[in-house]
Amino acid sequence: MVEGHRETFFFYSRLVYYLEDMMHQALWLDKDEKGTKASFRDLDDALLGEGEVVVAVEWSTLNYKDALAILGRSSVVRKFPMIPGIDLAGTVESSDHPDFLPGQRVVLNGWGHGESLFGGLTSKVRVPAAHLISLPDAVSTRTAMAIGTAGYTAMLCVLALERHGVEAKQGEILVTGASGGVGGFATALLARSEYQVVASTGRMTEEARLRRLGAVRVEHRDEIAKPGKPLQKERWAGAIDSVGSHTLANVCAQIRYRGTVAACGLAQGMDFPTTVAPFILRGVTLAGIDSVKAPHSERLAAWSRLASDLSLDIIEDMVNEISLSSVVDGARELLEGRVAGRLLVRIG
């Protein structure tokens, strides 16, 4: 190579490396008159997001809500363009906040990321320090995302049942949508605390896995998903419902006197076709669970219990690993009800 050309070549090579270092790959959602479009983009640092901490994302997940956002099926995304992903786990790359130092392992769930703030389906993102939790030593970034919002929400539901005095000796606990992410973790976490868990599912092919997670019995969801009477035979000391609609109405109608239902989802529907009868005649408590804006103290309590209560075997039984480039297909599979357990997304 002639000397002048060599210098020019190395200059441009260094420039390319430098520019590549400034770039990160992200799933990018945009919207036009035809609807939401998803594409993969190399983004520069100017498009990292807002906040004091830059996180090198190692793992993310695909939740039901992410699938809706990516496929534009509902108004999950409040602002376009958007990087979807309500969950992320990774390592702090740089920080202007004293609580977080480079190299620290962190997890983020919710807080509007993937909705109105850039989310986790990207190799790098800038986020507010207040939205991060430092991971317990026992939890790797991969494990944190294998658990993800689904596991963390299931834990919030279990904590709500405990707070409302539901005890293992009082009788069986029903978990609906049991073969999904929240339902699977709810089954495992309740079983770990020695509750007798009955798993309700539309997929009896998942029975063996649900029993491995700790269900004492698995019931088909046919009956419980249909319209039913407002008061039915008292069956459950408590329940965790991620399904909503007629299912939640029937669950409330079957809760024993002064029992509690933790309700967190709407997989069957947003409606809640019931009456006040279970609440005023049987003293049933309906505990609403929101993971997105749950206070920091509850998140810490949930992550600390997740670290102690979930074994790696259980977690691995719940996850299917996919790459960032497969998330759009993964979102379709999820919304078509073909995914059992969780989709864990490898980023870094």
* Site for ligand NDP, rule CB under 6 A: 63-65, 149-150, 153, 177-183, 201-203, 221, 225, 242-243, 247, 264-268, 289-292, 334, 337
**Which alpha helices (H) appear in 164-205, and where do they start and end?**
181-192
The encoded tokens of residue 168 equal 């293992």
- Closest separation between CB of residue 229 and ligand NDP, Å? 19
DSSP states of 109-156: E-TTBTTTB--SSBSEEEE-GGG-EEPPTT--HHHHHHHHHHHHHHHH
- Closest separation between CB of residue 148 and ligand NDP, Å? 8
Judged by beta carbon, residue 74 or residue 94, the one nearer ligand NDP is 74
**Rounded Cα gap, residues 347 and 87, in angstroms:** 12
Residue 275's CB: how many other CB atoms inside 10 A?
14
**Rounded Cα gap, residues 235 and 255, in angstroms:** 6
**Contact criterion met (CB below 8 Å) for 296 and 129:** no
Q: Which of 267, 96, 102, 73 is nearest to 182 (CA)?
A: 267
Judged by beta carbon, residue 43 or residue 114, the one nearer ligand NDP is 114
The encoded tokens of residue 317 equal 């039984």
Judged by beta carbon, residue 92 or residue 154, the one nearer ligand NDP is 154
Judged by beta carbon, residue 138 or residue 204, the one nearer ligand NDP is 204
- Closest separation between CB of residue 181 and ligand NDP, Å? 4
Judged by beta carbon, residue 123 or residue 187, the one nearer ligand NDP is 187
Q: Which residue sits closest to ligand NDP, CB atoms considered?
A: 180
Residues in the chain: 348
- Closest separation between CB of residue 182 and ligand NDP, Å? 4
DSSP states of 249-299: HHHHHHEEEEEEEEE---SSBS-----SHHHHHS--EEEE--SSS--HHHH
The encoded tokens of residue 276 equal 């006040």
* One-letter amino acid for residue 193 of the chain: S
- Closest separation between CB of residue 24 and ligand NDP, Å? 26
Judged by beta carbon, residue 202 or residue 278, the one nearer ligand NDP is 202
- Closest separation between CB of residue 66 and ligand NDP, Å? 9
Judged by beta carbon, residue 122 or residue 250, the one nearer ligand NDP is 250
- Closest separation between CB of residue 65 and ligand NDP, Å? 5
- Closest separation between CB of residue 34 and ligand NDP, Å? 25
**Longest Cα pair distance anywhere in the chain, in angstroms?**
91
Judged by beta carbon, residue 43 or residue 215, the one nearer ligand NDP is 215
